[in-house]
A and B are shown apart, each in its own frame.
Chain A
Amino acid sequence: MESIYEPTSRISKQAIKVWRLSNLITDVIGIIIIGALLWAGIYFDWFQWIITILWILLGVAPLFSIWSVFFEPSLLYKYWRYGMDEEYVRLKYGIFNRKHTVIPMTKIQYVSAEQGPILRKYGLYTIEIGSMGSSHEIPALSEEEAFLLRDQIAHHAKIKEVE
């Protein structure tokens, strides 16, 4: 799927670290919750099938964590591309399911730069683009890039087409 409309800009390489950290945190919390439920299940004598399912989940969760902490972030980074010109914003991403979205500038209703605690640690921003139909994110851009992109999109999106 190569064409002249292919987006080429890449997100910050720091994204890998950000995703590793955030996935690690959510996975640990998840495993703790499953463990607590399992303990409660055994202690309060829940149905056997609930306990079986919990044991299976507890077995699978670490495998899933290995994937989401060690492999997924770098692959996500590898395939993330974005691009814009005066008329369109283009996003392309995904490891197994690859999505290529094209949004006309005239249909964009808002654009914002956001930052959570982990992103702040690395000085990164996420750009959120809202159109009439949906909202899209470009994750983990450096502050400079993020603000430039936000301002550019905001500038082009000001133009409205005649309905």
Chain B
Amino acid sequence: MTDTEMKRLHPLKILASIISFIKGSFVIIIYLFFISDKESTIAFYGRWAFALFVIISFIQMILQWWSTKYELKTRSIHISKGVFKKKSNSIPLERVQNVQTSTPWYFKPFSVTSLTLVTSATDEDASVKLEAVKKEEAEKIENQVLTLRKESAQVKIGDACPIHEQALEKQSRILSGDMSDAYMQLETSERTVHFRPSRKDLLKASFLSLSFLALIPIIATIINNAEDIFNWKMDVEEVYVFIADSWILIGTVIILFLVIAVGFGITRTFLKYGKYEIASDHERIYIKRGTLSEQSFSIRKENVQGIQLNQNPFKKLLKLTEVKLVSAVNDDDDGEEINTLYPFLPTNRAFGLIEELLPGFQVENRMNKLPKQALYVKLLRFPFVWLIITGILFWWKPVIFGWSSTWIYVVIILLISTYAMRALRFKNSRYLINDGFIQLKVGGLWSETFITKRKKVIEIEVEQSFLQRKFGVATIKTVNRTNPVHHEEMQDIPVDASNEFIHWYHERSKEITTE
């Protein structure tokens, strides 16, 4: 292949590198240019060294952009990187499971986006990231992936998802001729939108997301700087007098702070979760989100290994649920949980949505409670964590809040809460072993429900401790194929149910098709 066929990324890649560089060296910049003493030698040499570092990094960024080239072929994408040491990587498009795009706000005016193709492979070459490509180019690549997948899906697992005759007709057109054109029609005609958050949802979400806590570090910095500016120097006594004298001022400041915090929280939530859209066609689920920076994510339904429904105590109170799709993709580099459907779905809507999006999945509301024996086992388990903490405290006898005996109360409170949590976990645990499904709900104050298909479970285990044997209960475990593998376990279900679980898993061989 010659260089003329290979394309470079959009030059905005350099801007993206610069921004991530600034983000990465934020602490150093703040220290060198704002905090450190201007006259000190450390600051002097540090600044020069940093300037040199900036120049080298900048050259490196340009070289990186210059040397990174990609080429899209019919069935694969080819990438070569490296200035001195060339590294090239070719990924068959058929193996691509998920397509993600992310458009930071500074990319938007130029209609440029960052595209990631994720395969099921487990090594470091598992995904391809094109940090800056034109939107049309990204769409072209995405469409090519989608059409290829459809082609092979039709040949291989046509029975897995019912295909309408109309769609079949269009697919044959895809196969025969103008691929992208036919695809566009197929896509637009079939993609249905399932969820867009209402204003009420967003208001609830903004109070819940606790995002206004992000204000605290900013305010702390301002106060810190204010100290320098106004040269506040007060004794402890003066502070007391000040507080006593000016409680109106302080009250106003607190109220003002709360108003700003809530306002900040609402704005942030509206920007982050406002333009949210969950859509699907018979092959894939598409999630779009973000107002200033946009992100999109698409995943093949077949590659969804399971579903997780998470609730924290506040979400329970407001009847909201976070729905996560368990798949081979992990969170992206920025730690954003990209595979979350929506963190604040109304609980009753969540169940319906799952069934709409994944026709193979069912969410059953009525699940089995744990037997009484489970409670006895949970209470009889040896409280190791508590014992270790007690041991350490006994050794140390730390003085807390000025009292020498506070640690005894800490030990007592810990013991009570340990057992309270156990009782709560017993009360909230639910399980259901259904036709082709298993549903496990665990947790005390926080709760997590995991739902998966038998077909997607790659290994099971039943474990019984000595104590569990005496009370006729057992622990069941499932393993799902993700990267790394996803383990789930449910403690203290009746032995009969654990036997049923083993039988249930053996029925798996009737469901699968072998090559």
Q: Which of B33-41, B48-56, B399-407, B462-470 contacts A (4 or more CB under 8 A)?
A: B462-470
Residue B259 CB within 8 A of the other chain:
no
Q: Which of B125-133, B307-315, B453-461 contacts A (4 or more CB under 8 A)?
A: B453-461
Q: How far is the CA of A150 from the CA of B305 in the complex (A)?
A: 30
Q: How far is the CA of A87 from the CA of B302 in the complex (A)?
A: 22
Asked if B459 contacts A88 (CB within 8 A), the reply is no
Chain A hits for B487, CB < 8 A: 133
Asked if A87 contacts B509 (CB within 8 A), the reply is yes
Asked if A102 contacts B515 (CB within 8 A), the reply is no
Q: How far is the CA of A94 from the CA of B465 in the complex (A)?
A: 9
Chain A hits for B505, CB < 8 A: 102
A159-B515, A162-B157 as given contacts; A99 in contact with B485, CB under 8 Å? no
Give the Cβ gap from B191 to chain A, nearest Cβ, in Å. Answer: 24
Residue A106 CB within 8 A of the other chain:
yes
CB-CB contacts of A66-110 with B at 8 A, as 1s and 0s? 000000000000000000000110000010111111111011000
Asked if B499 contacts A104 (CB within 8 A), the reply is no
Give the Cβ gap from A5 to chain B, nearest Cβ, in Å. Answer: 5
Asked if A97 contacts B506 (CB within 8 A), the reply is no
Chain A hits for B506, CB < 8 A: 5, 87-88, 102
Chain B hits for A98, CB < 8 A: 463-464, 469
Q: How far is the CA of A102 from the CA of B479 in the complex (A)?
A: 11
Residue A48 CB within 8 A of the other chain:
no
Asked if B463 contacts A102 (CB within 8 A), the reply is no
Give the Cβ gap from A52 to chain B, nearest Cβ, in Å. Answer: 12
Chain B hits for A131, CB < 8 A: 458-459
Chain B hits for A106, CB < 8 A: 512, 514
With CB as the reference atom, state the residue of chain A lying closest to B466: A96
Q: Please tell me the number of chain A residues within 8 Å of chain B, measured between CB atoms.
A: 26
Give the Cβ gap from B68 to chain A, nearest Cβ, in Å. Answer: 32
List residues of A (127-158) whose CB comes within 8 Å of B's CBs: 131-134
Give the Cβ gap from B45 to chain A, nearest Cβ, in Å. Answer: 42
Give the Cβ gap from A133 to chain B, nearest Cβ, in Å. Answer: 4
With CB as the reference atom, state the residue of chain B lying closest to A95: B466
Chain B hits for A160, CB < 8 A: 514-515
Counting residue pairs across A and B whose Cβ atoms lie within 8 Å, the total is 81
Asked if B466 contacts A132 (CB within 8 A), the reply is no
Give the Cβ gap from B493 to chain A, nearest Cβ, in Å. Answer: 13
With CB as the reference atom, state the residue of chain A lying closest to B97: A163
With CB as the reference atom, state the residue of chain A lying closest to B508: A104
Residue B502 CB within 8 A of the other chain:
yes
A87-B509, A97-B464, A97-B466 as given contacts; A1 in contact with B495, CB under 8 Å? yes
List residues of B (89-124) whose CB comes within 8 Å of A's CBs: none
With CB as the reference atom, state the residue of chain B lying closest to A103: B459
Residue B233 CB within 8 A of the other chain:
no
Asked if B513 contacts A102 (CB within 8 A), the reply is no
Residue A45 CB within 8 A of the other chain:
no
Give the Cβ gap from B473 to chain A, nearest Cβ, in Å. Answer: 11
Chain A hits for B474, CB < 8 A: 1
Chain B hits for A100, CB < 8 A: 461-463, 502
Asked if A3 contacts B503 (CB within 8 A), the reply is yes
Asked if B459 contacts A102 (CB within 8 A), the reply is yes
Chain B hits for A97, CB < 8 A: 463-466
Residue B481 CB within 8 A of the other chain:
yes
Give the Cβ gap from B455 to chain A, nearest Cβ, in Å. Answer: 9
Asked if B464 contacts A1 (CB within 8 A), the reply is yes
Q: How far is the CA of A50 from the CA of B469 in the complex (A)?
A: 38
Residue B23 CB within 8 A of the other chain:
no
Q: How far is the CA of A141 from the CA of B508 in the complex (A)?
A: 29
Q: How far is the CA of A5 from the CA of B508 in the complex (A)?
A: 13
With CB as the reference atom, state the residue of chain A lying closest to B505: A102
List residues of B (479-512) whose CB comes within 8 Å of A's CBs: 479, 481, 485, 487, 495, 498-499, 502-503, 505-506, 508-509, 512
With CB as the reference atom, state the residue of chain B lying closest to A6: B502
Q: How far is the CA of A104 from the CA of B458 in the complex (A)?
A: 7
A96-B466, A134-B459 as given contacts; A104 in contact with B479, CB under 8 Å? no
Asked if B463 contacts A132 (CB within 8 A), the reply is no
Q: How far is the CA of A119 from the CA of B509 in the complex (A)?
A: 35
21 examples of A-B residue contacts, CB within 8 angstroms? A1-B462, A3-B503, A88-B506, A88-B509, A97-B463, A97-B466, A98-B469, A99-B463, A100-B463, A100-B502, A101-B461, A102-B460, A102-B461, A102-B505, A107-B458, A131-B459, A159-B515, A161-B513, A162-B156, A162-B157, A162-B513
Apart from A160-B515, A162-B157, 6 more pairs, CB < 8 Å: A88-B506, A98-B469, A99-B461, A99-B462, A106-B512, A159-B515
